[in-house]
Amino acid sequence: MEHILELYTHPYQPQRPLVCFDETNKQLIGETRIPLAPRPGGVTRYDYEYTREGTCNLFLFFAPLEGWRYVKVTARRTTQDFARCMQELVEVHFPQAERIRVVLDNLNSHTPWALYETFPAAQAKRLVDRLEFHYTPKHGSWLNVAEIELSVLNGQCLDRRIPDPGTLETEVAAWVRTRNARAAKVHWRFTTADARIKLKRLYPVIE
pLDDT profile of the chain (207 residues), mean per 10: 86 94 90 68 66 88 96 94 97 96 93 96 97 91 92 92 92 96 89 72 63
* CA-to-CA dists, residue 88 to 12, 35, 41, 67, angstroms: 21, 38, 45, 18
- Which tens digits make up the pLDDT trace of 106-115? 988 999 999 9
pTM reported for the whole predicted model: 0.85
Radius of gyration of the chain (CA): 20
User: pLDDT tens digits, residue range 153-191?
Assistant: 999 999 888 899 999 999 999 999 999 999 999 888 877
- Complete domains list, the chain, with CATH: 2-33+47-200 (3.30.420.10)
For the CA atoms of 81, 86, 88, 91, the dihedral, rounded to the nearest 10 degrees, stands at -150
